Structure 1
């Protein structure tokens, strides 16, 4: 971990494919996408929920993708793994084809000098586990323990950086307080149980991580963390009530997802939530002690955008907002989107500066020595793929502006160990299906072989990695000429 990690991130159910082969069974995302399959008409808005059976077919094309990433110059690759591929039937049966796939994949990247950085669980519970209770039953702790033990044993030698879970905030709120994500078990009680069990899974993984170190499966210097999708708040006005609204927001959207993992206790807002809804749920003292005894080592941070927060929208008109304000009922605050700000084509706020102050807040809150890694930062777009050159200049501007702030924060003493952009190639997006382009590499989803092709952002990131982030802005014509030259040598081994 001496060198700064220039990485890209992706997620198994969005890229991997091979969902019904290699001994794999179904997960909650297989079931969800089949039951809710919807492709909006061309030119019409709407959430696309496409088929993930093949996705970008990383399952068959990981060697091609490893060559593409080696040419790019990555020294790390963040991958959200698939629990179901390794444990497709129950908590005891290890699928030999499933674990062999990950061994082969990790080995391939490791040989090319690209550190695999696994995230053990990202929203994709095995269907067998969900049927038996999922995150609503404490039995999931045993099931998960068996899974992580297997991962550490067989994959531990390939990497010294691990994460347990990813985006617990979005997952818990959109799957248990909303039906936007699977398993769509909407109730306050299910939400509370899910949150607590997600934290317990983190502590279990940490305990098994230390055991795996003692057995020699993992380097004694290896670290394991949790990845959080915190959008740092900005008070919409200088009004004292808006500042208090930001405090409420952080208590719920930051403290609830990091404090148990790093301090072993819950913020007051969680207990208030339990009391307010009269939930038959108690966090035991035994569980709190377990959390305290198994604290995580590393903060992963998915920074896409900050959020403006206000206590009231009285006096404003509909046309003051880019998109309608969102009322957070539990907190009695509003998340607002001022039209005066800059946004992506998917109406995501563009504001890199808040990354620096947010990083300082994390360091101040959880300790300046805690390593932090940006695990997701990227821009969803509608890339023009009709021409020979895919010129995604808006993505370059977005990424360069944010990476600049990461390096600036690092210079100011923040213990950033790496930056991993979202994402390596175009994949299935839970919010936009295959219409939402995030990748440095284009995937032709109409091609029988899902052909890969570099975009201008690929050449940009290649140059950034080569000069280790010292230069982030390049002449556009120079980049275009480099892309033209790259395409001339983009032979069958890269497609």
Structure 2
């Protein structure tokens, strides 16, 4: 990897569609969206749970999307893959149509000099696996082994950067400590069991990764990592108790989800949690040795926002907050939302300040030589699509200040190998359905062909890539002229 990777990221169940085509069966997300279908009023910043049967139809439009990304100038594309498409029936049957789709897709992107960066798992467990226990069943380690082995064998020649899983913290907390995400198996025992099996599939995958290298399926220089959605903490005040609250937060929200895969060890808070809650859960010493033996190479980091933390909110008033503080009973801390900060229309904090210091912390804990990559960074919004040009200036402002910090960190010696923004095109969002726009490219979800159209942010990223990140800020008139040229060239092969 000689060049810095300028990439975009997306996810199969959010973009791919064709959920009942090509030999594919159902996953926990198919079942969840059908059972919990809800459409709030138009324009309301609340959760929409909609059909993912077609989504943005990447399954049929990947060649169009490859042209669009090639025109953008990307040299990489992060894609959270669909386990169910490749293994739709059980752990043994490989769906020929499923693996062929990914071979064709990867080949197409390679022709355009765009490196596919696969993420093997992002929350979308096959329904057949969930029926048999899912991440509560230790056998999932063997089921995932077969899946990883198949991917390495057939897709290994197309890329030298891989990730096992994405956002394990959100998945484990919101699916096993709450019912926000499928499989909605709420319980503390389920939670710790899911965490351990997620860490074990990482180790299993690393073992298969090294075997695939020996067999010649993957290059000797290839690396594989885990992607974590760490929101770095900021002490709300200079009170030493707020600093201690941040330390408790990091033990639980950083080290618990990275240390088992990168260091090969669990932090003590995990065992303390098991003991405190009297959980009948014991980790075998063989598992602990296996984790140490099969450590991953690379850290992916989803940076959307930091989080302000206070140990108490008693001395503050309601008018101090943008939205009310949220109390974390387990850690005895408050997540607070200072009124003076900037927020998106979805009440997400806009603050890039912890990218540099956060990456320095990651280097201190996991080693300065460990490669880092921003795998997700983006802004959900309500884009105005009624005019000829989609002027998403707020998104450009957000992306510019964040990418600038990443490139500054790289200049300071942080081993950032790439930046991948979220996301390529408008997709289904687990937190906002189709009303939450994230893409550089608009998708007309009322069109049967899911027609694509570039936004002003597409023109922005194109110029950033052209100058290799040496300039990330451009005046709006320059970008509008660039977008006008792009739109004039946007023929039927880009739609």
Distance 1:308 1:39 in 2: 31
Unaligned runs of 5+ residues in structure 2 are none
Does 1:211 pair with 2:216? no
Distance 1:74 1:35 in 2: 38
Match of 1:167 in 2: 167
Distance 1:319 1:104 in 2: 55
Distance 1:431 1:253 in 2: 20
Match of 2:363 in 1: 363
Match of 1:314 in 2: 314
Alignment of 1:382-393 (within 5 A): 382-393=382-393
Unaligned runs of 5+ residues in structure 1 are none
| 1:42 to partner: Cα distance | 2.1
Match of 1:74 in 2: 74
Distance 1:481 1:228 in 2: 37
Does 1:190 pair with 2:200? no
Match of 1:420 in 2: 420
Match of 2:7 in 1: 7
Distance 2:468 2:484 in 1: 23
Distance 2:412 2:442 in 1: 35
Match of 1:60 in 2: 60
Seen in structure 2, the aligned counterparts of structure 1 residues 263 and 442 have a Cα distance that, compared at 3 Å, is same
Specify the SS of the correspondent of 2:258: helix
1:415-444, CA deviations, whole angstroms, 9 ceiling, x for partnerless residues? 000000000000000000000000000000
**Does the 8 Å CA contact 2:233/2:250 hold for their aligned counterparts?**
yes
RMSD of aligned alpha carbons:
0.7
Seen in structure 2, the aligned counterparts of structure 1 residues 43 and 469 have a Cα distance that, compared at 3 Å, is closer
1:463-493, CA deviations, whole angstroms, 9 ceiling, x for partnerless residues? 0001000011112111101111211110000
Match of 1:291 in 2: 291
Specify the SS of the correspondent of 1:6: strand
Distance 1:44 1:174 in 2: 22
Distance 2:35 2:450 in 1: 25
Match of 1:433 in 2: 433
| 1:210 to partner: Cα distance | 0.2
**Does the 8 Å CA contact 2:86/2:94 hold for their aligned counterparts?**
yes
1:86-128, CA deviations, whole angstroms, 9 ceiling, x for partnerless residues? 0000000000000000000000001110000000000000000
Specify the SS of the correspondent of 2:402: helix
Does 1:346 pair with 2:346? yes
**Does the 8 Å CA contact 2:404/2:472 hold for their aligned counterparts?**
yes
| 1:45 to partner: Cα distance | 4.5
Distance 1:269 1:177 in 2: 17
Distance 1:252 1:365 in 2: 14
Distance 1:357 1:102 in 2: 37
**Does the 8 Å CA contact 2:43/2:435 hold for their aligned counterparts?**
no
How many residue pairs get aligned? The number is 495
Distance 1:145 1:5 in 2: 28
Match of 2:147 in 1: 147
Match of 1:30 in 2: 30
Alignment of 1:403-418 (within 5 A): 403-418=403-418
| 1:455 to partner: Cα distance | 0.3
Alignment of 1:216-235 (within 5 A): 216-235=216-235
Match of 2:267 in 1: 267
1:131-169, CA deviations, whole angstroms, 9 ceiling, x for partnerless residues? 000000100000000000000000000000000000001
TM-score by length of 2: 0.99
1:194-220, CA deviations, whole angstroms, 9 ceiling, x for partnerless residues? 000000000000000000000000000
| 1:326 to partner: Cα distance | 1.3
Match of 2:468 in 1: 468
| 1:364 to partner: Cα distance | 0.6
Distance 1:399 1:42 in 2: 26
| 1:248 to partner: Cα distance | 0.2
| 1:47 to partner: Cα distance | 1.0
Moved over 3 A (4+): none
TM-score by length of 1: 0.99
Distance 2:301 2:446 in 1: 34
Distance 2:417 2:384 in 1: 34
